[in-house]
Amino acid sequence: MRARGPRVVVLAGIAVAALAFGGFAAASAATVSGKLEIFSWWTAGGEADALQALYNVYQKQYPNVKIVNATVAGGAGTNAKAVLKTRMLGGDPPDSFQVHAGHELIDTWVKAGKMEPLTSLFASQGWQKVMPRGLIDILSYQGQIWSVPVDIHRANLLWYNKKVFASAGLQPPTTFDQFFKDADVLKAKGISGFVLGDKEGWESGHAFETVLIGTLGPDAYKGLWTGKTPWTGSGVAKALQTFKRMLTYANSDHAALTWDEAAQYIQSGKGGMQIMGDWEAGWFTSKNFADYGWVPAPGNQRIYDTLSDSFGLPKGSICARTDCSPAAFSPYQQWAMQQWPTNTIVPSVIHGAAASEGWSTEYIDAIGLFVTSGDIAATQTALQKACADAGVCK
């Protein structure tokens, strides 16, 4: 990435989280000095813990480098991206920054000529040999690789309170029908069946993304981002109908809560189920809460809705590499490591892998409006328009 200091310092910075890959030998520790500004949005619970752990590892290897921790709060980078844009366009980029792998980086900054390729770094470290071909494809544009994927997150998970489910005699749902049956039982007990916090806007779009996958299946879902599957079709209409029904079980204060604030419903036992990515496991760990369980969101079995952060020591996520030892990871992460090599991989729209940032923003706006309006036809029209605005749909 572009930087203001010597190139060796910047390459060391790019490799901050790559230390999780077994080290980085750009130069000896003695020759690396100066300041290294790392820009991210990791401020919540387990995210902040992971970022500090990353810095601790780096400082042991490069003690003469002072890390400048530039963070902007906001889930999924909702606020950080705006700050980053101002800095990038103003000629004041950070030395390195967190970014979702795929379209978010490529369409926003690579095509604009604001990034340096990292293909030679991948070659020198042998990373292409230990990452799935599909992941390398997401990172690449015009034959070059543009970011280091130090973790793999799974977006399409349903989290639940194990004690609440056990006391109600429930099993975690694998289908939408079962989801609604469980939600009815929880509602009768005064418990919010569907925990949601969509204060920042992206969270509803995140949950609906999994409903799309569970309704359409992986191929038709991926077709939404290539123009092969129409947003105005019956499959999307069915997904919207399902999501509309799910919202009737949501906590009444969802518009005032962020995703992690909503997760407190699960922790306290006041809520039963929440659809969120696997960073939720890191949040639970940071709160010393262990009575949680997880399953793929309804209809999402054997489908891995994927996103990857460019920098970060995994916590609530797994290695992008396929040869990491599971011994150092939590029970959830060990389960995820078994799933990752065998599941069908689909890209997340909310987290920058499936579509450009502009398209993702229109998608978020459309689903956010749907949460309040419930207008299925108008929402499909808006989603089709977003696809057309992105130049994919006619």
Model confidence pLDDT, tens digit, residues 298-309: 999 999 998 887
Distance CA 265, CA 160 (A): 10
pLDDT value of residue 309: 76
Domain limits, the chain? 154-389
Q: Model confidence over 227-238: pLDDT tens digits?
A: 999 999 999 999
Q: Model confidence over 249-298: pLDDT tens digits?
A: 999 999 999 999 999 999 999 999 999 999 899 899 889 999 999 999 99
Predicted confidence (pLDDT) at residue 15 exceeds the cutoff of 70:
no
pLDDT cut 70: percent of the chain above it: 88
CB 148 within 8 A of CB 10: no
Name the token pair of 266. 């699960």
Distance CA 392, CA 378 (A): 20
Res. 394 pLDDT band, cuts 50 70 90: confident
Kindly tell me the sign of the dihedral angle through the C-alpha atoms of 129, 134, 135, 140: positive
CB 65 within 8 A of CB 56: no
pLDDT value of residue 59: 82
Q: Model confidence over 89-134: pLDDT tens digits?
A: 888 888 788 888 888 888 888 898 888 888 887 888 788 888 878 7
pLDDT value of residue 323: 76
Mean pLDDT of 45-55: 77
Structurally, at CATH architecture level, domain 154-389 sits in 3-Layer(aba) Sandwich (3.40)
pLDDT value of residue 13: 41
pLDDT value of residue 317: 57
- What's the pTM? 0.80
Distance CA 5, CA 181 (A): 58
